Amino acid sequence: MMYRFMTIVLAVLALIQAPALRAQDGPLRIEITEGVIEPLPFAVPDFIAESSAANELARNLARVVAADLSGTGLFREIPADAFISPVTSFSSPVQFADWKAINAQALVTGAVNVDAGGKVTAKFRLWDVFAGQELGNGLQFSGTQDGWRRIAHKIADQVYSRITGETGYFDTRVAFVAESGPKGQRAKRLAIMDYDGANVKYLTDSSSLVLAPRFSPTGDRVLYTSYESGFPRVYMLDIASVSRRVLESQDGTMSFAPRFAPNGRTVVYSLIRGGNTDIYKMDIGTGQSTRLTSAPSIETAPSVSPDGSQIVFESDRSGSKQIYVMSADGGDARRISKGDGQYGTPVWSPRGDLVAFTKQSKRRFHIGVMRTDGSEERLLTASFLDEGPTWAPNGRVIMFTRETQGEQGQSRLYSVDITGRNLRQVSTPGGASDPSWSPLQ
Amino acid sequence: MTRTVKRGSPMTKTFLNKAFILGAGLTLAACTSPDRFGSDSAVDLNNSAGSVAGSASDPTSPAYFQQAVGDRVLFPVDQHTLTNAAQSTLDAQAEWLLTNSDYDALIEGHADEQGTREYNLALGARRANSVHEYLVSRGVPASRLRVVSYGKERPLEICSTESCYAQNRRAVTIISIGTGV
C-alpha cells in the first residue's frame, strides 16, 4: 500500500498570534455528550497553493476537511460565497472581524506544496474566531500525491479533536462486503475503502460467498468468512499483500463470526460441529484452538472487551436470542440484555463502556447501545432490517448494514452517532453490507 | 463436485444437464466397476424402460430425486425440529439414497431473512443437522452425507412476506456423485 510509504511529519509551526480577548462564550468547544447541540459554524477557505502543481490540491484538501467536519453533524460549514476577506497568505494575520461578521466560530486555514519529487506537504492552523486566537499549534503533514486524502483526514482529525476533546476518526478505513446481482443469487466481494467511501479496493473476487470482514487491532489484516472450500470457514487476509490463509479447517465443521482480541494474536469465532454452534478462541501463531462454550444452544457473535478480559456474545440458551458476558477463558456467563425482543451481534465499544447490538422486536430491527451490565439500553435506529454494528475508533459513531425489504431489497451502509443523531448513508459503489471500521491509522 | 441448486431458478436447467452427464458417467462407471454397483443397479441405470438416463423420469437420477422424491423440507420460524410432512419426505429421501448407493448428498440448511447473519448461519446448520440425523437414523451412512449452512444468504423466494419466508426456511438435499468412500 502506498499508505505504508507515507511519512507523516509533524512540525510545530511558529505561533505568532498576539493574545486577544476571550469571546463571551468562552473557548471554542463542543461537548459531544450534550443532549441537543447546534452545529458549530466553521469556514475552510481553499488552502494556499505554494506551487502551481498544488493548485488543485489546495481546493481539494479544503473540501475533504470540510466534508469530514460537516459529516459529523457537529459542525456546519459556512459556504465560500459568504466570505468577506479572502485568505491570500498562510502567514498573514487573520481578519477576525470579517469572520465574526459571518459567524464563523472556527476557521481552518492551510497551505500546500507539491515538490519536484511529487511529495505533498500541507500545513494548517485552526482559529478560534471569537477568541481571536489560534487553537492549538499549526501542524504540517507530508505524503504522496496518491495519499492526499489522508492528509486532509489527518487535518480534520486534528480540528475535530481540538474542538471536541475526543480523538477523531476520519483517517480510517472500512472493510465491507460489496454486493451485486439479484437478491436470490447475490455476488459478494470483500472490499476496503476510506471511511468516507473514497478509494474503494476489492480484496477478493466474487467466485466465493464471503461474509463479515473484521479488522485487526493494527488495521493491517482482516478476518472474514468464505465459502471457497464449499463450507463457511474463517480466513485471515493481509491487506497489503492481499494474501489469505484459512484459520479453521477442521473436517466436518463450519466456522464463522471471527473477531480479533485486542492483542491481535487471539481470534474468537464460532464453530459448528454436529449442528451445534459454540464459541472458540484460537492463537493464530500456534493454530491451537480452545472451546469456550459447550451448551447445546447457539452461541455466536463473540466480541472481546478492550482490556481482553471478557467476551460478550449472543446465545439462545434461554429460548430466545439474548446477549451474555463471560470471562475471556469461558465459564459461567451472565445475561445482560433485559428488554423485550431478541438481541444479537453484540460489539464491545473501543472505550469499553458500551455494547452495541442488533435488536429484533415486533418485526423491526434496531441498532442500539447499552452499558456493559445491560443498563441504559438506547435504540439508535429502526428499520425493516438493521444489523451488524461496528464502532468508530473513538466510540462515538456506529456504522451498520441496512437492508430494504422486498424483491428489490438492497443492503447499504449507514452511520449514526451513539446519541442517535446524524443518521447517514455511507457512500459505496453499489450494494454493501457487514462494515468493519478500522482503528485510526 | 457439488453445486447449489434451487428449483425454479435459472440453475435448474444447468442442473438437469449436469445430472444427465452424471448419469452418463455412472453408466460408464458401471461398466468398468461392476463390483461396486452390482448387476441389478447396472441394469437399472442402463435400461430404465421408456426413460432417458438422468432425466426426471429415470427414478435413479438426481433429477428424479429432486422433483419426484422431494429434495427439501420446510421449518417453522426459528425452529429446526422436523414436522410430520418433513419426516415423510425424508423417509423417501432415505429410501432413495439407500437404493442409489452410488450417490452422496450435501444437505444445505437455510433461514429466512428475519434475523442476523450470524444467528441465521447457526440456525441453518441446526436445520441441516436435523435432516442429517434423520437420514442417518433411517440407515443412510453418515459417510455419504455432508452438511452446510447458508444462513439467509441464498433465499429461494425473494419477497419479504411470510409466503416467501416459509419457502426459505428449508433444508435441501443435493445429490452428488459418490466419492466411493
pLDDT digits 0-9 by tens, A375-403: 999 999 999 999 999 999 999 999 999 99
pLDDT in tens, A343-380: 999 999 999 999 999 999 999 999 999 999 999 999 99
Locus of grid cell 468547544: A29
Mutation to test the A interface, candidates B6, B119, B150, most A Cβ within 10 Å: B119
Is residue B163 pLDDT above 80, yes or no? yes
Nearest beta carbon to residue B126 from set A184, A230, A275:
A275
Do residues A251 and A241 lie in contact, with contact meaning Cβ atoms separated by under 8 Å?
Answer: no
How high is the pLDDT of residue A29? Answer: 82
Locus of grid cell 484459512: A246
In angstroms, rounded to a whole number, what is the distance separating the alpha carbons of residues A397 and A412? 17
Q: Where are the beta strands (DSSP E) in A261-385?
A: 266-273, 276-283, 289-291, 299-304, 310-315, 322-327, 330-335, 342-348, 354-361, 364-371, 378-379
Q: What is the mean pLDDT of chain A?
A: 92
Is residue B22 pLDDT above 70, yes or no? no
The interface residues of chain B toward chain A in range 79-108, judged by CB-CB distance below 8 A, are 80
Q: B-chain residues within 8 Å CB-CB of A256?
A: 118, 121
Locus of grid cell 479447517: A249
Share of chain B above pLDDT 90, in %: 66
Closest alpha carbon to A60 in A134, A116, A110? A110
Helices (H), chain B: 11-32, 34-46, 62-64, 84-99, 117-137, 162-168
In angstroms, rounded to a whole number, what is the distance separating the alpha carbons of residues A244 and A262? 21
Residues in chain A: 441
Kindly state the cell numbers that stand for B170. 428449508
Where does residue A341 rank: exposed (0-12), middle (13-18), buried (19+ CB within 10 A)? middle
Query: Does the beta carbon of B120 lie under 8 angstroms from any beta carbon of chain A?
Result: no
Residue A285 neighbours by CB distance under 10 Å: 8
How high is the pLDDT of residue A299? Answer: 98
Q: What is the mean pLDDT of chain B?
A: 79
Chain A residues whose C-beta sits inside 8 Å of any chain B C-beta: 182-186, 209, 211-212, 230-232, 252, 254, 256-257, 270, 272, 274-277, 298, 300-301, 314, 316, 321, 344-345, 358, 360, 363, 384-385, 387-388, 403, 405-407, 409, 434
In angstroms, rounded to a whole number, what is the distance separating the alpha carbons of residues A192 and B66? 40
Degrees to nearest 5, angle at CA A119 with A115 and A122 = 90
**Contact across the interface for B160 and A232, Cβ inside 8 Å:** no
Residue A105 per-residue DSSP state: S
Residues in chain B: 181
Do residues A133 and A125 lie in contact, with contact meaning Cβ atoms separated by under 8 Å?
Answer: no
pLDDT in tens, A50-106: 999 999 999 999 999 999 999 999 999 999 999 998 899 999 999 999 999 999 999
Contacts of A390 (CB under 8 A, 6+ apart): A174, A347, A356, A398, A399, A400, A435, A436, A437
Do residues A247 and A284 lie in contact, with contact meaning Cβ atoms separated by under 8 Å?
Answer: yes
How high is the pLDDT of residue B56? Answer: 85
- Mean pLDDT is lowest, of A102-111, B37-46, B140-149, for B37-46
How high is the pLDDT of residue A33? Answer: 66
Three-state SS string over A343-360 comes to EEEEEECCCCCEEEEEEE
Q: Which portions of chain A are predicted below pLDDT 70?
A: 1-26, 33-36
**Contact across the interface for B155 and A257, Cβ inside 8 Å:** no
**Contact across the interface for B119 and A434, Cβ inside 8 Å:** no
Helix axes B84-99, B117-137, angle to 10 degrees: 60
In angstroms, how far is CA A164 from the centroid of its own chain? 17
Do residues A327 and A285 lie in contact, with contact meaning Cβ atoms separated by under 8 Å?
Answer: no
Do residues A62 and A166 lie in contact, with contact meaning Cβ atoms separated by under 8 Å?
Answer: no
In angstroms, rounded to a whole number, what is the distance separating the alpha carbons of residues A82 and A198? 28
In angstroms, how far is CA A320 from the centroid of its own chain? 30
Kindly state the cell numbers that stand for B85. 410432512
In angstroms, rounded to a whole number, what is the distance separating the alpha carbons of residues B103 and A54? 68
Is residue B48 pLDDT above 80, yes or no? no
In angstroms, rounded to a whole number, what is the distance separating the alpha carbons of residues A344 and A332? 19
How high is the pLDDT of residue A30? Answer: 79
pTM across the whole model: 0.87
